[in-house]
Structure 1
């Protein structure tokens, strides 16, 4: 390579280097901002996760402390500052359970109604509250309202369909409809979502009514 070519290459390289430095001086801040944004975003996400975890742990600790107290119902009702609609709904369901144990069905029904009627909550929570309200009996709703509620809760695809069907079977039995109770119990045995405990109760009900659970 001649000295002229070598000189041209050196000049070209120097020009490239100067242009690169110029670009870095002009646009380098964009890369710095991008790095800071990535690091800051990661830190914010970790902070958010830690905040949610702390809130969940605090809620759980409050529930455990309340359940271990002498008056669990009053202790649960005294819990304040619950973050999140779903946690608040779970608290109301637990309050209802304690009210029922204490022989206060009206209070239990009111707590459950506040959850069942909240359209912003997931269906699973609303249906759970509705099912528990049905199981309160006349204290929560009359027979017609219970039948209508169970019809919805036992619809195909409903989250608590097998349990609602069990309540329908018991309601049929209470109304003197032996065949209806047997038919519903048989359907429960065929339900994919029925738990072993529920299947056992359905079997026992059929046997008590003189039906053969194994019969087609």
Structure 2
């Protein structure tokens, strides 16, 4: 390479360097801002996770402290004072309040708590269906048969979160109506359902034997 070519190359390199520095001075703040946003966003995300964890732990501790009291009235009163700031927390408190009320024989209060969850559009759908199922179990004998059967059928639809439990209630309702054959067929079907817990399966097998049937495979 001649001295002229070398000089031209050096000049071109300087020009490129000057242009690069000029671009950095003009637009470099964008890169710095991007780095700050990325780092700040990660820190904010971690803070939110830590905050959510702390709030969940505080909520759980408050519930345990309430349930640890020996006096049923005191338990119910303390549960009523626990704040519910996250989705689902209010429903969980209502379920606990319903259990306390039912234990004390206050069925009206238990029903009111469950109806509150069942009718709460902001509660998770699984919680609302659980509240409806609990209401049917609690009020079942006093409900009109058609209304009870219709609501149980909706909860026992394929894919419903509490389908096995709803089917169990359908079977018990058939037994109460004297429809033994229908009840036996339903319990036989339930015994083959996926997702049936060990406790529920045991109850189902017992009902099959009581109704004069024989569990499949035995």
TM-score by length of 1: 0.92
Q: How does 1:89-104 map to 2 (within 5 A)?
A: 89-104=91-106
Moved more, 22-31 or 134-143: 134-143
1:151-166 to 2 correspondence within 5 Å?
Answer: 151-166=153-168
Instruction: Give the Cα–Cα distance (whole angstroms) in 2 for the partners of residues 139 and 206 of structure 1.
Output: 22
Q: Which residue is 2:139 aligned to?
A: 137
Partner of 2:110: 108
Q: How does 1:202-213 map to 2 (within 5 A)?
A: 202-213=204-215
Over the aligned positions, Cα root-mean-square deviation in angstroms equals 1.9
Question: Aligned pairs, how many?
Answer: 215
Partner of 1:7: 7
Describe the SS at the equivalent of 2:191. Answer: helix
Question: Aligned in 2, Cα 1:168/1:138: closer, same or farther, shift over 3 Å?
Answer: closer
- Give the Cα separation in 1 of the matches to 2:4 and 2:162: 88
Asked whether 1:23 is paired with 2:26, we answer no
**What is the distance in 1 between the residues matched to 2:105 and 2:63?**
21
Q: In structure 1, what is the Cα distance between the partners aligned to 2:22 and 2:195?
A: 68
Q: Which moved more, 1:117-126 or 1:43-52?
A: 117-126
Structure 1 regions of 5+ residues with no counterpart? none
Q: Tell me how far apart the structure 2 counterparts of residues 163 and 44 of structure 1 sit (CA, whole Å).
A: 42
Deviations 1:93-125 (A, max 9, x none): 111111111111111111111111122332211
Kindly state the Cα deviation for residue 78 of structure 1 after the two structures are TM-superposed. 2.2
Give the Cα–Cα distance (whole angstroms) in 2 for the partners of residues 105 and 77 of structure 1. Answer: 17
Aligned equivalents of 1:215, 1:30: Cα separation in 2: 71
SS in 2 for 1:165: helix
Conserved? CA contact 2:87–2:124, under 8 Å? no
How far residue 89 of structure 1 moved from its aligned partner, in angstroms, is 0.9
Equivalent in the alignment of 2:48: 48
Q: Conserved in 2, the CA contact under 8 Å of 1:106 and 1:140?
A: no
The CA deviation string for residues 100-154 of structure 1, in whole angstroms up to 9 with x for no partner, is 1111111111111111112233221111111111111358854443222111111
Query: Match for residue 77 of structure 2?
Result: 74
Deviations 1:147-199 (A, max 9, x none): 22111111111111111111111111112222222122111111112112111
Residue 2 of structure 1 deviates from its aligned partner by 2.7
Match of 2:171 in 1: 169
Larger deviation, residues 111-120 vs 136-145: 136-145
Using the size of structure 2 for normalisation, the TM-score is 0.91
The SS at the match of 2:158 is coil
Determine the structure 2 residue equivalent to 1:181.
Answer: 183
